[in-house]
Amino acid sequence: MPDAMIGWVNRVITGTLTASSEASGLTSAQLKNQQGAAAYAWQTAAAVTSTNLRIDAGSSVTWRGFGLFRTNLTAAATVRWRVSNDSTFATSIYDSGTLSNTVVAGYAQSVVIAASEQTGRYARVDIADAGNADGFLNIPLAYAGPILQPAVGLAYSTRHARDRDDVVVRSRGGQEFVTLRSQRRRWAFEFGSLTTAEFWDGLAELERSAADGSNVLLVPFPSGGNIAREAVFGRLALADDASWPAPNEAGKRRFAGTITERL
């Protein structure tokens, strides 16, 4: 299967954030909260539908995956991600260019993957959504940081689903009355042939880091053209103990888990 990407070292949480527009009580510092609710989001001031966010990692670090999640962005929104050692971004090490079509209606997220790992102190995203009916931009969750891409991709046992919390009441006559509630996208994934380094430096560190409830970014098929629909940013739960894939593969490791979208 295509090589999947997974990221958990989120420099949005560890870095210093500076936004060009913030509503009272809904500052960019809210992005350090991992819950994802709109009430705890970074939001621009009223009538501001174009903004930017700068992330200062404090020193030169690696970046490759970038994302905005649980947003109110429309499908017409544009984003531009850059990495630089210059806080003003007069020059850039990486520049995605202004990207459209990164948001799909109904999925509320935008994910951008650089072609290769980039190194710099600062990352910045410019967001514009002039036609947003809310009259402001609301971004509850964001990711910016490195990405692990194992040499062997996801196992064929990997599955995708939606968990729905709808409440259904049936009358005596058999009619159904449905109260629609939240629904979460979920990937039950497995890496079945990790090298020793990919396991101990990668997935084992992922498990240790995510134990505090921090969100993880999974991009199952980065070259498939459906990143906006397929990528999930959420909590990790182990599906099984780490193991060896086969008796004659002592140098390989198997890792299985579930990432459920954070709402």
Please indicate, yes or no, if residue 230 is contained in any of the structural domains: yes
- Shared domain for 244 and 176, answered yes or no, is yes
111 SS3 class: strand
How many domains does the chain contain in total? 2
- Shared domain for 29 and 120, answered yes or no, is yes
Please indicate, yes or no, if residue 151 is contained in any of the structural domains: no
Q: What is the DSSP string of 148-170?
A: B--SS-B-TT-EEEEEE--EEEE
Position 248 scores a pLDDT of: 58
Please indicate, yes or no, if residue 150 is contained in any of the structural domains: no
Nearest alpha carbon to residue 104 among 222, 227, 216: 227
Per run of 10 residues, the mean pLDDT along the chain (length 263 residues) is 86 98 96 86 97 98 98 97 97 97 94 96 98 97 96 88 75 77 83 88 86 91 90 89 69 87 88
Position 171 scores a pLDDT of: 83
Residue at a domain's end among 114, 145, 176: 145
- Shared domain for 129 and 29, answered yes or no, is yes
Position 2 scores a pLDDT of: 54
- Shared domain for 115 and 15, answered yes or no, is yes
Position 90 scores a pLDDT of: 96
Nearest alpha carbon to residue 62 among 123, 126, 150: 123
- Shared domain for 95 and 169, answered yes or no, is no
- Shared domain for 173 and 96, answered yes or no, is no
Position 23 scores a pLDDT of: 97
Please indicate, yes or no, if residue 90 is contained in any of the structural domains: yes
Residue 21 structure tokens: 């527009």
Position 193 scores a pLDDT of: 87
Nearest alpha carbon to residue 69 among 135, 7, 2, 131: 7
Position 13 scores a pLDDT of: 96
Position 107 scores a pLDDT of: 93
Give one word for 135, left, alpha or beta, with left for phi > 0 and alpha for psi -120 to 50: left
Position 249 scores a pLDDT of: 63
Burial of residue 151 (CB within 10 Å: 0-12, 13-18, 19+) is exposed
- Shared domain for 19 and 76, answered yes or no, is yes
Position 180 scores a pLDDT of: 65
Which CATH number do you get for residue 62? Answer: 2.60.120.260
- Shared domain for 197 and 117, answered yes or no, is no
Position 182 scores a pLDDT of: 67
Residue at a domain's end among 120, 145, 170: 145
Please indicate, yes or no, if residue 228 is contained in any of the structural domains: yes
Question: Biggest alpha carbon distance in the chain?
Answer: 69
Q: By residue range, what is the domain housing residue 41?
A: 5-145
- Shared domain for 140 and 188, answered yes or no, is no
pTM equals: 0.91
Which residues are CB-neighbours of 27 under 8 A, at least 6 positions away? 19, 42
